[in-house]
């Protein structure tokens, strides 16, 4: 689980790493290719260093076969 501070007093966290493991151990490279970003960008998203656009977030959720809210969530500080 990783996240990044947002100006609104909360942060977006994600469960991509866990869900990749649950999805037959899909690698970071495989998911990055399917979503259309570099492996380094997917690594930054997983590590909470980059909050992706809605388009990429939806693509990640679709490739993991999960609803968006299961992959990303907003937590109040």
Partner 1 sequence: MLPSFEERSVWVQLIALGLGLGGYFAAAGPMLARGVMETTPYVAVFAVSLVLLIGVMIAGHIIAAVFGGTEEEDERDRLIGWKAEARSSWVLGLGVFGAIGALVFGVEGVWVANGLLLALFASEMLKLALQAVSYRRGV
Of 23, 26, 34, 50, the one binding partner 1 (CB under 8 A) is 50
Listed in sequence order, the DSSP H helices in 1-77 are: 16-22, 28-35, 39-46, 54-64, 68-71
Q: What is the DSSP letter of 55?
A: H
Using CB under 8 A as the binding rule, whether residue 48 contacts partner 1 is answered as: yes
Contact between 3 and partner 1 (CB under 8 A)?
no
Residue 13 CA to chain centroid, in angstroms?
8
Residue 15 binds partner 1 (CB under 8 A): no
Among 3, 4, 10, 59, binds partner 1 (CB under 8 A): 4
Q: Which is nearer to partner 1, 42 or 71 (CB)?
A: 42
- In terms of Cβ atoms closer than 10 Å to its own Cβ (0-12, 13-18, 19+), residue 14 is buried
User: Which of 17, 41, 59, 66 is the binder for partner 1 (CB under 8 A)?
Assistant: 41
């Amino acid at each position: 689980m990783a996240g990044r501070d947002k100006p609104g007093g909360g942060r977006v966290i994600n469960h991509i790493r866990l869900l990749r493991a649950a999805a037959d151990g899909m690698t970071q490279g495989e998911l990055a290719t399917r979503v259309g970003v570099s492996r380094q960008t997917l690594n930054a998203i997983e590590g909470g260093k980059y909050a992706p656009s809605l388009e990429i977030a939806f693509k990640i959720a679709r490739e993991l076969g999960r609803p968006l809210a299961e992959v990303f969530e907003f937590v109040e500080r």
